Structure 1
């Protein structure tokens, strides 16, 4: 039996969001251990000046979950405001994305997997299948922003390692 698209996407996004929450918690714990505020220390942190900050990485990873799930279910995207300013706001954003995963109609995702969808990419819109949009854009884009969030925190001294990143994917 072939693996269903809904299983791949929902499983990956769920585990990735667990990783995101975990590394944010590690950042808060690290800041607290030094008598500092995680929001002040990390919310605007970047890897390099011309990159976007941690907040943007969380917003875009969760927005990718939202956009991908709506696209896969044949629904119109319902944009969220990008107004997070604290770690509490970031956690709430992750939970909002988790709720979308929980409420996703797996049967609908699998039913529409091979249907044609519009995939907006900047000024261009590609025509592709729902499956290809999820596997070739949704999951890679989500991964990029998740990994970048991890790298930002790691570069700022948060003691996270490979186990912290991959643990959710492996179930520990």
Structure 2
């Protein structure tokens, strides 16, 4: 398995799952008679990011590591989404970026040391960077997105979190 599969493929799968959760959230809001946009300010604890920021952070946690692994600057987004539609568009923009990064772009990525923007002068070899930071950070924000939606009554279960599995006959 290469770093493209571990990052891009995994991130795209979970972003598709999140998109399906947001479909369920829209249906839930309609069924209950409230504007779905109110969910964007919802959070699990007073000192935690709200749903909107969790989704923005999840997108950043996907595109940033992928860009750094292939030696590029990550695309910058203004974090100015205010509506449900704008938030969903942010996810689509992230997916489009991830789809633009090919396996070929990852040539040499295993040998890279990834600079850590939040720790000036420090970096991490690419494999530990992915295992210890990129994947856990992305899945943390995806999990918080799931938890906030679930906390607000959106009918989600483990199968929604896991999503599609590739199966073969034994």
TM-score, length basis structure 2: 0.91
How far apart are residue 77 of structure 1 and its match?
2.4
Aligned counterparts, 1:115-154, within 5 A: 115-121=112-118, 123-154=119-150
Contact 1:66–1:77 (8 Å) recurs in 2: yes
User: Alpha-carbon deviations, 1:97-154, whole Å to 9, x = none?
Assistant: 1111110032221422221120223x55532122322222111100000000100010
Tell me, yes or no, if structure 1 residue 107 matches structure 2 residue 104: yes
Tell me, yes or no, if structure 1 residue 88 matches structure 2 residue 88: no
Aligned residues: 167
Aligned counterparts, 1:1-172, within 5 A: 3-40=1-38, 42-121=39-118, 123-168=119-164, 170=165
Structure 1 residues 27 and 171: CA distance shift in structure 2, 3 A: farther
How many angstroms apart in 2 are the aligned matches of 1:135 and 1:54? Answer: 25
Structure 1 residues 33 and 125: CA distance shift in structure 2, 3 A: farther
Structure 1 residues 149 and 171: CA distance shift in structure 2, 3 A: farther
Gaps of 5+ in 2: none
TM-score, length basis structure 1: 0.90
Contact 2:24–2:154 (8 Å) recurs in 1: yes
- Secondary structure of the 1:120 match is coil
How far apart are residue 55 of structure 1 and its match?
0.2
Q: Which runs of 4+ in 1 moved over 4 A?
A: none
Contact 1:71–1:130 (8 Å) recurs in 2: no
